[in-house]
A = this chain, B = another copy of it.
Amino acid sequence: MPTQVLEPDVAGGPAPAPAASRSPIEHIAIICSKGTLDMAYPGLILANAARMSGIDATLFFTFWGLDIITKKTLDRLHVATVGNPSMHMPTMLGGFPGMETLATFMMKREMAKLDIPGVPEMIETLHDSGAHLYGCRMAMDMFKRTKEDLVPQVEDVISAMDFFDKAAGAQVLFI
C-alpha cells in the first residue's frame, strides 16, 4: 500500500522565507541520554557553539548520559564499534576485545588534532562560559549515584519537570 508521502512529483511547495526574517535561536536545551564518546561530543560541541554565539545553553544529563558528568566515567567514555555500520568494520570484528579501545583512541586523536578538548575540559569550558549543567534525579536514583559522584560543574540534580521549567524559551534537543 503506497503511502503517498514521498513521491517526488508531489514534493515542493512554496519557497521558504529567508532565514534572516525568522527569530534567531536564543536558548538551546539539550537532553543528553547516551554515554558513548561519539554521542557525548555532539551535545557538548553544540552547547559550546551556542555559547560562542551568545545563545543560552542548558544541559540535562539522564540515563546513560549521566556517565558524561560522573567523575569516575567522564574520562573513560568509549566509541561503540558494534551496532554502528558507519564504523565500516565487519560486525564480528567490532565485537572483538580491544576494538572499542582502538576506535576510542583514534577518535580522541582526531579530535585533539582539531584542537577539540577532551570531555573533562569541555565540561569545564561550558561551565565557565555560563552554560547550565544538570543531572536527572530519576537517573541518579536508578543508577544509585549521589551528587558527590558528579563533577563539580553540575549545578543541581533536578526532575524532568524542573528541566521543562529551565528550558523556557529554548529549542529542546534530545541526544
Interface of A toward B, CB cutoff 8 Å: 1-8, 10-17, 19-28, 30-31, 33-39, 41-42, 45-46, 48-58, 62-64, 67, 77-86, 90-92, 94-97, 99-100, 107, 110-111, 114-117, 121-122, 124-126, 128-130, 137-138, 141-143, 159-161, 163-175
**Which single residue of chain B is at the shortest CB-CB distance from A81?**
B91
CB <8 Å contact, B85 and A169: no
User: Of B13, B78, B86, B92, which one neighbours A64 at CB under 8 angstroms?
Assistant: B86
The 7 closest A-B pairs by CB, nearest first: A83-B83, A22-B169, A16-B56, A35-B86, A49-B160, A64-B86, A78-B85
Q: How far is the CA of A78 from the CA of B25 in the complex (A)?
A: 34
Number of copies: 3
**Please, how many angstroms separate the alpha-carbon atoms of A174 and B117 in the complex?**
22
Report whether B62 and A42 are in contact in the complex, using a CB–CB cutoff of 8 Å. yes
Q: Which of B45, B91, B128 contacts A6, CB < 8 Å?
A: B45
| Shortest distance from the beta carbon of A56 to any chain B beta carbon, whole Å | 3
A6 → chain B, closest Cβ, in Å?
5
Across the interface, do B13 and A51 meet the contact criterion of CB distance under 8 Å? yes
